Structure 1
Amino acid sequence: MSNLFSVFDPSTSSFNLSLNWTSTVLGLLLIPTSVWLIPSRYPVLWNTLLAKLHNEFKTLLGSKKINKGSTFLFVSLFSLILFNNFLGLFPYIFTSTSHLIMTLTLALPLWVSFMVFGWINNTNHMFEHLVPQGTPAALMPFMVCIETISNIIRPGTLAVRLTANMIAGHLLLTLLGNNGPTITQSLLWVLITAQILLLILESAVAVIQSYVFAVLSTLYSSEVN
């Protein structure tokens, strides 16, 4: 089992440093190449995607003056997670988003800042969220407890959802790939086909999970205003 999970081990043998984490900023080395190719298909496609996300996040946040420019934070968050998720699909590249230390670093400060801002500036509004509209008086104490717990575990659910999805797919790919040398030739094509289909699925999961993370963060932000 230790060998199986070694693909998620952040330690490296070079100078006894965790150099695998440099994959998180690997995109900075690739960004300048697009500057010399404008307008090319890559920047046009990326700008179209960011514009769509900007409009969607703007709708979720509302049209209040305090929310102007807030979408850039969530679009950047989406871009960072998407890039790291896709990097993990390449061989010998460390998947930083499959570790809670990375995902919690993204989710926890966001949630704490939303809570601090909400409770300081919109205290009455935050209290209203603890009791949903139409709740019977007898159930109000229980609803306050339930809503408080659901609010507290939000950063954990954000982080664990992303980490679990990244680990599950990569672990399945690793398990099937380890059977390659020992499998019979007649079943080898079945294994290769399954690996290709799983890789396509993981590419979809990489996009979906980064989108879910950004959208949920946006919704949590909109609730404190």
Structure 2
Amino acid sequence: MMTSLFMVFDPSSSILALPFNWLSTFMGLLFIPLVFWASPSRWLMAWSKIMSILHGELKSLLTQSHAGVTLIFVSLFSLIVFNNSLGLLPYIFTSSSHLVMTLALSLPIWVTLMVFGWFKHTQHMFAHLVPQSTPSILMPFMVIIETISNVIRPFTLAVRLAANMIAGHLLVTLLSQTGPSILSNAVMIILISSQILLFLLETAVAVIQSYVFTVLSTLYTGEIN
């Protein structure tokens, strides 16, 4: 019996006190070796085309071209969209709905960018704290505001992804729990139709939030260069 609506998002499967829910995050590694020996399929060619388009878009967001940077963010997009989509399947733990997972993705990126920016582009980082054409009297306040907005970036990335994933799943859970108490066939048809539409919406959200997380991370990288 659930004592809280959010219990459905808590890891629960374990053997000998070892939680197995987080293993779904690494299930994608089982499919990667297929690329090296399986013959090209329509799915593989379509995915390669999507990754190529995404690579071109992320490369255009960077002010300078650095080899390997877009590869990192394309891989990040693949990881997030895989975990988001995997959470739509029944009885599979949605790891991207937890701040532990999303912070583990956003915080290392932000720390790396800050360390690299302040050591390699110190003058540019100081100049970024005060926008151009700012009056002298407002400069101290702008430094405080820009510093706060810069510090909360990894948390906004993590909360945005987790909140969007948990909101849709929570709504699906609430609607599904009302099914056994419905006696009217017409209401049941409406409920099933709404569940199908909500599932399609969650599928779109899984892809869109992965793209938003990746693009924002790329934009933050472009500000350092």
TM-score (norm 2): 0.95
2:16 counterpart SS class = helix
Task: Tell whether the 8 Å contact from 2:85 to 2:203 is kept in structure 1 after alignment.
Answer: yes
Task: Tell whether the 8 Å contact from 1:34 to 1:42 is kept in structure 2 after alignment.
Answer: no
Letter in 2 for 1:89: L
How far, CA to CA, are the matches of 2:40 and 2:13 in structure 1?
39
2:31 counterpart SS class = helix
How far, CA to CA, are the matches of 2:135 and 2:122 in structure 1?
22
1:31 counterpart SS class = coil
How far, CA to CA, are the matches of 1:141 and 1:73 in structure 2?
36
How far, CA to CA, are the matches of 1:35 and 1:195 in structure 2?
38
Identical pairs, percent: 63
1:55 counterpart SS class = helix
2:181 counterpart SS class = coil
Name structure 2 gaps, 5 residues minimum. none
Q: Is the counterpart of residue 8 in structure 1 residue 19 in structure 2?
A: no
How far, CA to CA, are the matches of 2:85 and 2:223 in structure 1?
30
Task: Tell whether the 8 Å contact from 2:12 to 2:21 is kept in structure 1 after alignment.
Answer: yes
Task: Tell whether the 8 Å contact from 1:169 to 1:202 is kept in structure 2 after alignment.
Answer: yes
Q: Is the counterpart of residue 54 in structure 1 residue 55 in structure 2?
A: yes
**CA shift digits 1:103-160 (9 cap, x unpaired):** 0000001000000000000001001110111111111111110000000000000000
How far, CA to CA, are the matches of 1:11 and 1:175 in structure 2?
19
Task: Tell whether the 8 Å contact from 2:55 to 2:71 is kept in structure 1 after alignment.
Answer: yes
2:155 matched to which residue of 1?
156
How far, CA to CA, are the matches of 2:35 and 2:8 in structure 1?
31
How far, CA to CA, are the matches of 2:5 and 2:135 in structure 1?
51
How far, CA to CA, are the matches of 1:33 and 1:108 in structure 2?
31
Task: Tell whether the 8 Å contact from 2:64 to 2:222 is kept in structure 1 after alignment.
Answer: no
1:204 matched to which residue of 2?
204
Return the offset for 1:92. Answer: 0.2
1:132 matched to which residue of 2?
131
Alignment of 1:99-110 (within 5 A): 99-110=98-109
Alignment of 1:48-87 (within 5 A): 48-64=49-65, 67-87=66-86
1:193 matched to which residue of 2?
193
Q: Is the counterpart of residue 142 in structure 1 residue 173 in structure 2?
A: no
1:174 matched to which residue of 2?
173
How far, CA to CA, are the matches of 2:208 and 2:140 in structure 1?
36
2:111 matched to which residue of 1?
112
1:183 matched to which residue of 2?
182
Task: Tell whether the 8 Å contact from 1:11 to 1:17 is kept in structure 2 after alignment.
Answer: no
Give RMSD over aligned pairs. Answer: 1.3
TM-score (norm 1): 0.95
How far, CA to CA, are the matches of 2:5 and 2:107 in structure 1?
29
Hey, which bits of structure 1, 4+ residues long, moved more than 4 A? 33-37
How far, CA to CA, are the matches of 2:14 and 2:204 in structure 1?
32
